[in-house]
Amino acid sequence: MTVFLASLAAWLVSLLVTMAVRRVAVQRNMLDLPGRRRSHTLPTPRGGGVGVLAGALLPLLAVVWWYAALDTRVIAYVIGAALVAAVGWCDDVRGVAPLYRLLVHALAAALFVFALHGAGGMAASPLFMALAGFAIVSAINIWNFMDGINGIASSQAALVALALAVLSGAAPWTLAALFLAIACLGFLPFNVPRARVFLGDVGSGSIGFMVAALLVQAVASSNLRWPLALVLVSAFATDSALTLGKRIVQGKAWWRPHREHTYQWLVRAGYRHGQVSLGYLLWSVLAVALVLALPYGADVLPAALWLLATALLWIALRAHARRKLRRTM
């Protein structure tokens, strides 16, 4: 009963806080304006990700306190998400230099990784710590880069979190994943099919942190292996990696806003936000099904083939979108 009530609270908190933040954002003119590097056409308030953060963390803290299960790892998870959210909020309000944002992201990742290190086991390995820190910082920025059209970032996070609720093994991490998924669902009505508020950096960054921290914890507890962790986030990771690599090779400022991700090319070619977000979601549903179907330890080759297939599909979709766009010009 306590978990059911906490889950209901996660949804309600996310819904109500998002509603309140939207009102504040409108009053204070915190708006994302349309532009050449944007995929929306109307001024839209941002900062709604505060609702997801509150819905994901407050019920978790309440439950672990009720059961006296609060430990350093949960504290680091909450503080890390809050740090990423805080620098994201500052960026939404007045702008923060990319280097300062990255330093805060690295600090949040380090706090969580060192908390896991204290639990021993695989997490005590220096190689694991380095990979985990890199994965968390990468996911924070991947979710930020991919949060460019209605519903895509929150729906992906909800799906991956639901999978991790199954894979994480035991409380409090099963609950943390469940509350994150429910909090994302509480936000979605404000972003789909029409965006009445955006996550903002406060939301996309903190969601990326929480997804990555839960993935890292699942790997550290031997409930998931690194190749399958990549499969779960393959839709976002592949699009981001291909786009980042191309921009670096071309000598472009990869950290600046742009519209060169595959999902952005598809929208520019005339596909609706909902169609593109649904396509990404369906691909991730197949990825989750693959991960849940594979026995632990038999995953390297299937994961490699899946990631190769994802890369080839994304390249083909990008080429299709560019051809379609040229035909309409």
Residue 284 confidence (pLDDT): 97
Residue 30 confidence (pLDDT): 84
Residue 189 in tokens: 């009505």
Identify the residue with better confidence: 297 or 264.
264
Question: 26-40, 69-83, 114-128: lowest mean pLDDT where?
Answer: 26-40
Q: Which of 91, 176, 99, 96 is nearest to 137 (CA)?
A: 99
Residue 311 neighbours by CB under 8 Å, 6+ apart:
238, 242
- Give 299's Cβ-side CA count (13 Å radius): 22
For the chain, the distance separating the N- and C-terminal CA atoms, rounded to the nearest angstrom, is 58
**236: pLDDT strictly greater than 90:** yes
Tell me the mean pLDDT in the region 288-315: 89
CA distances from 250 to 38, 148, 237, 241, 264 (A): 21, 22, 20, 14, 18
- Give 216's Cβ-side CA count (13 Å radius): 32
**8: pLDDT strictly greater than 80:** yes
Contact (CB, 8 A) for 104 and 87: yes
Could you give the CA distance from residue 172 to residue 63 in angstroms, rounded to a whole number? 9
Which of the four pLDDT bands, split at 50, 70 and 90, describes residue 124? confident
Radius of gyration of the chain (CA): 19
Could you give the CA distance from residue 85 to residue 99 in angstroms, rounded to a whole number? 16
Which of the four pLDDT bands, split at 50, 70 and 90, describes residue 170? confident
* Eight-state DSSP code of residue 44: E
**325: pLDDT strictly greater than 90:** no
Asked if the bond preceding 189 is cis, omega within 30° of 0, the reply is: no
Consecutive H or E run containing 240: helix 234-249
SS3 218: helix
Which range, 3-12, 30-39, 277-286, is most confident? 277-286
Residue type, position 182, single letter: I
Which of the four pLDDT bands, split at 50, 70 and 90, describes residue 283? very high
Could you give the CA distance from residue 6 to residue 304 in angstroms, rounded to a whole number? 38
SS3 64: helix
B/e letters for 166-202, b = 16+ CB within 10 Å, e = fewer, are: ebbeeebbbbbbbbbbbbbbbbbebbbeebbbbbbbb
SS3 149: coil
Could you give the CA distance from residue 50 to residue 23 in angstroms, rounded to a whole number? 13
Q: What percent of the chain has pLDDT over 90?
A: 73
Could you give the CA distance from residue 244 to residue 260 in angstroms, rounded to a whole number? 9
Task: Give the alpha-carbon dihedral of 148, 151, 154, 156, to 10 degrees.
Answer: -90
Helix axes 173-187, 152-167, angle to 10 degrees: 160
Could you give the CA distance from residue 145 to residue 126 in angstroms, rounded to a whole number? 29
Task: Write the pLDDT tens digit of every residue in 174-223.
Answer: 999 999 999 999 999 999 888 899 999 999 999 999 999 999 999 999 88
Residue 226 confidence (pLDDT): 92
Could you give the CA distance from residue 258 to residue 70 in angstroms, rounded to a whole number? 41
**297: pLDDT strictly greater than 90:** no
Contact (CB, 8 A) for 215 and 169: no
